[in-house]
A and B are shown apart, each in its own frame.
Chain A
C-alpha cells in the first residue's frame, strides 16, 4: 500500500501512518476472511462487527481521550459492570422507568470519572493507580448491590434493544450502533475542532508546557476522566441492550481490550498523538479477529485465546514494521 502511494507522488503524513497501516491490515483480514469463508463476504458481517462491539466502541472512545492526555483508565470494565448492575437494580427491583434509570447510570459514571480525575489532579496520584482504585471500588459496589445477575425484562429496554434500522436490502443495524457512531462523531469533532480538544492533545504532548502556556490543564484532566466515566456508563447501558442482563461479572478484562483497541488504532500511550478514527479501526481489528475465529468454529476455548494472542501479535508487528520502514 505504501509503495503504491509513493508511485502516485502522494506521501501520507507521518502522523497518519499508523492509522493507514491498521486500515490496510483490516482490509487484508477482511479479504482473507471473504476468500476463506463464503458467508464472510456479506455486508452484514461488517455491520455485525459494529452491532456486537457498539458498547466497546463507546468505551474505547472515552479511553482515547484519557490516553491522548498521557493517562490511562483501568476502571472502565468495572464501571460498565456497575452500570449494568445499577440498571438491573433500578429496573427490576425498584421498578423505575427506563429513562430515569438511564439518567442515574450516566450521572454515577460521570461522578466516578470526575472523582478519579480529582484524585489524579489534586493529589497527584498516578492515573494507573487512581483508576485501579476506581476499578476495585466500582467492582466492589457491584457486589455490594447484588451478587447475582439481574435478568432485565423492561418493556422500553426491550423495544430499544430489538429495534432494527434497515439499510438497503437485507442489511440492518441496531440503535446501539447509531448511539456509538454519534459518540464517535462527537468525539472526533471535539478533539479536532474545539479548544478543549487541542488542550487534550497539548497535555499529552507536554503537560508542563501546556500549563505554562496558560491552558487549563487541571480542569481538562478532570474532564477527560469524566468523559471516560460517562462513556463507560453509556457503554454499560448499550451492553444492557445487547445482553439484557445486569451482571456484576460483566466487563472483566474489558479495560485491556479497550486499551488494546486504542493502541492498535495508532494512539501512543504516552499521549499527544492519535485519532478517534484509529480507535474505531482498532475495535474493528479486534472484532474481525473474533469473527474469523467464530467462522472457523473448530477451536476450543484455549486455542481461541492463543490464536487471539497470535493475531494480535501479527497485527501489532506488521503495523510496527509498516510505520518503521517509511520513517
Chain B
C-alpha cells in the first residue's frame, strides 16, 4: 500500500476515480455505453473524444514546462490551424486530397509558429511567458486575417473524420491522441531525449556547461508543442465543421497547464510525466462532461469547476496530506511527516 501511494500517478488517478464515482452516484446512467452502427456512444466515450485536443496540447505543454518554460500561445495556434485548414477546404473541391493538403498546410504553419516561439525563447532569451504572450495576442488577429473575420463553415466528409470520425468502433480523435502519446513517450523515454529535457529544466546553465545543446532542445519542445496544438486545432474545427477565429481554443492554454500540473509535473521544470498529463487532461474533461451531464446551471459552472479543482489540488498537495495525517494520528511523530526522497523514475 505504501509503495502504491508513493507512485507518482497514484493521486491524480485517485482524483479521477473519485470524480467518476461522484458521477456514478449522481447519475447512475453516466457509464452507459451504447454500440450504434459499430460506433460506441456514451458519456465516457464523449470524455475521450472531446478530451483528445486537450490531451494533445497537454502532452506538448508537458515538455515545454519540463524545460522550465510555458506556452500561452497554444489557443491562438489552435485558432490559426483551424482557420487555415477550413479556408483551404472551402476554396477547393471536396476530396481526400484537398483535406490532406489542408492538414499539411495547417500543420506546416503550426510548425513555423513553434519555430517563432522557440526563436524568442531559445535564441533571444526572452522569458517564455512573455515570448509566447506575443503570439497569444497577435495569433487571434492572424487567425481572423486568414478567415477574413468570418466563421468559415465547411462541409467535407473527410475533414470531419479527424474530429468526429470512428475507427475500430472508437473515435478517431482519441486514437490520434493516443498515437501521439505513445510516440512522444517512446521518444523521450527510450532515448536520452527525456533525460536531456529534464536536465535543461532542472538547471539550464549547468546543462549548457555540461555540453548539452539546451537552446536547440528548448527550440524543439516549442515546435513540438505548437504541432500538438495544430493537430488539436484541426480536431476542434472539424468537430464543429467550422473555424471560429475568436473562440476556437479560447482558454485552452489554462486548461492544458492545469492538466499538466494536476498530472504531477512542476511548473519549476525538471521531472515530468506524460502519463500524468494525460490523466490530468482526462480529469479536466471529465469535469466539463460532468457539468453537462448533471445539468448544472451555466452560471454556476465556473464556481463548480473552481471548487472541484481546489479539492483535487489539495488532494495532490503533499503538504496538505501531511497536515491531515498529523492531525488524525498525532503519535505518528516527525518521521511520518518527512517523506522519504522519491526515487527518480526513468520509465514513462
Contact = CB atoms under 8 A, between A and B. Distances in A.
Contact of B137 (A128, A141, A308, A317): A308
B119 to A, nearest CB: 11
Interface of B: 72, 120, 124-127, 129-131, 133-142, 144-145, 149, 245, 254, 257-258, 261, 266-268, 298-307, 309-310, 313-314, 317-320, 323
Interface string A284-308: 0000000000000000111111111
A306 B138 contact: yes
A292 to B, nearest CB: 15
Nearest to B140: A305
A124 B126 CA distance: 28
Contact of A263 (B127, B306, B309): B127
Contacts of A301: 141, 144, 149
Main secondary structure of the interface of B (DSSP, over half): helix
B68 to A, nearest CB: 9
A277 interface: no
Contact of B266 (A126, A260, A300): A126
4 A-B pairs with the lowest CB-CB distances in the bound complex, closest first: A309-B138, A140-B303, A140-B302, A305-B141
A320 B120 CA distance: 11
Contact of B261 (A74, A128, A139): A128
27 contacts: A119-B310, A122-B323, A124-B317, A124-B318, A124-B319, A125-B317, A128-B257, A133-B309, A133-B310, A136-B309, A137-B303, A137-B310, A140-B301, A143-B299, A144-B300, A256-B72, A263-B127, A269-B129, A301-B141, A302-B149, A303-B145, A305-B141, A306-B138, A306-B142, A309-B134, A309-B137, A324-B125
A140 B318 contact: no
A129 interface: yes
Contacts of B149: 300-302
Main secondary structure of the interface of A (DSSP, over half): helix
B324 to A, nearest CB: 10
B1 to A, nearest CB: 24
A309 B141 contact: yes
Interface of A: 74, 119, 122-126, 128-130, 132-134, 136-137, 139-141, 143-144, 147, 256, 259-260, 263-264, 268-269, 300-310, 312-313, 316-317, 320, 324
A203 B305 CA distance: 31
Given A129-B261, A144-B300, A320-B126, A123 B314 contact: yes
B305 A260 contact: no
A122 B319 contact: yes
B54 to A, nearest CB: 15
Nearest to A147: B299
A77 to B, nearest CB: 12
Contacts of B124: 317, 320
A317 B13 CA distance: 43
Given A125-B314, A137-B307, A256-B72, 10 more contacts: A122-B323, A124-B320, A125-B313, A128-B257, A268-B127, A300-B149, A305-B144, A309-B134, A316-B131, A320-B124
